[in-house]
Amino acid sequence: MARLRLTGLTGIALCTALACSASGGNQNTVSTGGSSSGASGGSGNSGGSENGGNANGGSGNGGGNGGSAGIPLDGGGANGGGGGLDPDAACEAVSQKAEERFQPADIIWAIDTSGSMVEEANSVQQNINAFSSQIVASGVDVHVVMLAGYPFWPLPGICVPQPLGSGQCPADSKAPNFLHVQQSFIDSVDALRKLVARYNDYRLMLRPDSLKYVVVVTDDNSATSPDGSSTGDPGAYDNNPQQFVTDYSNLDPSLLKNPDGSPAWKFSAIYAFTQCANAARVGTVYKDVVNATGGIHGDICSCPPGQLAACQQTFQQIFNELATKISQGAVPLDCEWGIPPPPQGQSFDANRVNVEFTDQDNGSKETIYRVNDQASCDPTLGGWYYDDPNNPTRVIACPATCNKVKSVVQGQVDIAFGCESVVIPR
């Protein structure tokens, strides 16, 4: 199927407030390439200018016989009467670049905050804001979940500062983008077990259309230590990476499992590649889970014990690599367009927005009908709706409209502000 190419990342047509003030007169239309004749005198060509044509009928029913000439954008009645917007006033077009929508990303961190993780926990805390900001700067909306203990002497801990967190522990969670799960201390060997056991505490942070990433930071392994020196309980994931992959995916198949049964999430880890001075044990289980899901490997041995500055630099490099992978993995979403702020001097009115589609292959242009929500989409006429009617940030095309938009080789979607939304005729 041919892909839509949005010109200039989608042009935005703006109807000014003055262009939509109330009086009586002739009808204005958005062109679909045809022309119209007034019912009581004169004729109007609506196929020409960017502003929409004017049907120059002498009175009342201008544009009433326009056929396929276009859909009125002025909100007035078909007879050009009062009570609506001025049918004489043309919408002045001003181009403005729309925001391309990317898949969001949900990232779950499980950080070992046992006594040997002082520099590592500090390095996570110092780099987490730059990590999330780098992803957001690429256009990806990110949710971050943290499973980790809070600072409590003599143990290390993590308290996430602003802007991602509040910086006020033990209440550093900051809706809607950051959740620090309460009482989620991760011991030396139990990160995988805690990710499964605490799933219901962070499930609502995961979105159906998001890319999902799990990240573990530890200097140990998910395995019982022969000499008993490691703390915590790995549970079912004692030297059993495949069991974790299976169990985590099955926690919530609609979110965490692909149709073919493979994991719909990627696992990354910062762990010991070798038995080094900074490691309790080599993280063989974490290595296997990363390999099974296609994540990023980071070597905690590059974080020298007692050298905080060097450790922070090491974590910065690993976080940058992970953030880049997440950003590059987010693909543009079909049939969703962000709503940019109106130009200076204009205000946003959710009831005065229209979505227009131009098929540049044949020059035709149409106004897409607005519907209340996805359930109200017409199977034939399609439509569009807001992501959140009370606080809209983007417009979403109904399936029929989405298929039509994606079927053209070259097309353009415009969002027109200032004129009453056009709905499906009753």
| 3-state SS track over the chain | CCCCCEHHHCCCCECCCHHHCCCCCCCEECCCCCCEECCCCCEECCCCCCCCCECCCCCCCCCCCCHHHCCECCCCCCCCCCCCCCCCCCCCCCCCCCEEEECCEEEEEEEECCCCCHHHHHHHHHHHHHHHHHHHHCCCCEEEEEECCCCECCECCCCCCCCCCCCCCCCCCECCCEEECCCCCECCCCHHHHHHHCHHHHHHHCCCCCEEEEEEECCCCCCCCCCCCCCCCCHHHCCCHHHHHHHHHHHCHHHHECCCCCECCEEEEEECCCCCCCCCCCCHHHHHHHHHHCCCEEEHHHCCCCCHHHHHHHHHHHHHHHHHHHHHHCCEEEEEEECCCCCCCCCCCCCCEEEEEEECCCCEEEEECECCCHHHCECCCECEEECCCCCCCEEEECHHHHHHHHCCCCEEEEEEECCCCCECCC
CB atoms within 10 A of CB 67: 11
**Same-domain status, 183 and 200:** yes
pLDDT at 302: 84
Q: List pLDDT tens digits, range 170-219.
A: 889 999 999 999 888 899 899 999 999 999 999 999 998 889 999 999 98
Q: List pLDDT tens digits, range 13-24.
A: 333 333 333 333
Q: Which of 28-32, 150-154, 301-305, 393-397 has the highest mean pLDDT?
A: 393-397
CATH classification at residue 141: 3.40.50
Q: List pLDDT tens digits, range 308-319.
A: 887 888 888 888
Query: In the predicted model, is pLDDT for residue 11 greater than 60?
Result: no
pLDDT at 394: 83
Residue 291 domain-assigned (yes or no): yes
Distances (CA, A) of 305 to 57, 118, 165, 321: 84, 9, 27, 22
**Same-domain status, 260 and 148:** yes
pLDDT at 303: 82
Label residue 91 by pLDDT band (50, 70, 90).
Answer: very low
Label residue 331 by pLDDT band (50, 70, 90).
Answer: low
Q: Which of 31-45, 63-77, 321-335 has the highest mean pLDDT?
A: 321-335
Q: Which of residues 33, 59, 93 is at a domain's end? A: 93
Label residue 133 by pLDDT band (50, 70, 90).
Answer: confident
**Same-domain status, 122 and 190:** yes
**Same-domain status, 188 and 315:** yes
Number of domains observed in the structure of the chain: 3
pLDDT at 343: 67
Query: What are residue 15's phi and psi, to 5 degrees?
Result: -90, 120
Mean pLDDT in residue range 369-392: 92
Q: Which residue has the tokens 């949710």?
A: 143
% of the chain beyond a pLDDT of 70 = 73
Residue 257 domain-assigned (yes or no): yes
**Same-domain status, 175 and 119:** yes
Q: List pLDDT tens digits, range 238-263.
A: 999 999 999 999 999 999 999 889 99
Is the preceding omega at residue 87 within 30 degrees of 0, hence cis? Answer: no
Distances (CA, A) of 245 to 111, 211, 271, 338: 18, 16, 18, 35
Query: What are residue 281's phi and psi, to 5 degrees?
Result: -155, 160
Structural domain boundaries, residue 87? 17-93
Q: Report which of residues 417 and 286 the model is more confident about.
A: 286
pLDDT at 63: 38
Query: In the predicted model, is pLDDT for residue 367 greater than 60?
Result: yes
Residue 124 domain-assigned (yes or no): yes
List strands edge to edge, sheet with 99-102.
Answer: 99-102, 332-338, 394-397, 384-386
Task: State how far the Cα of 100 lies from the Cα of 332, in Å rounded to an integer.
Answer: 7
Residue 98 domain-assigned (yes or no): no
Label residue 404 by pLDDT band (50, 70, 90).
Answer: confident
Q: Which of residues 285, 312, 329 is at a domain's end? A: 329
Residue 55 domain-assigned (yes or no): yes
pLDDT at 40: 39
**Same-domain status, 258 and 297:** yes
**Same-domain status, 360 and 412:** yes
pLDDT at 147: 94
The answer to whether the beta carbons of residues 258 and 250 sit under 8 Å apart is no
List, in order, residues 6 or more apart from 370 with CB less than 8 Å away.
353, 354, 355, 383, 384, 385, 421, 422, 423
- Per the DSSP assignment, residues forming a β-bridge with 423 are 370
% of the chain beyond a pLDDT of 90 = 28
Residue 372 domain-assigned (yes or no): yes
**Same-domain status, 363 and 273:** no
**Same-domain status, 270 and 185:** yes
pLDDT at 200: 96
**Same-domain status, 226 and 245:** yes
Q: Which of residues 303, 329, 355 is at a domain's end? A: 329
Q: Report which of residues 338 and 400 the model is more confident about.
A: 400
Label residue 77 by pLDDT band (50, 70, 90).
Answer: very low
pLDDT at 215: 93
**Same-domain status, 143 and 241:** yes
pLDDT at 312: 82
Residue 403 domain-assigned (yes or no): no
Residue 342 domain-assigned (yes or no): yes
**Same-domain status, 5 and 25:** no
Query: In the predicted model, is pLDDT for residue 280 greater than 50?
Result: yes
Mean pLDDT in residue range 103-120: 85
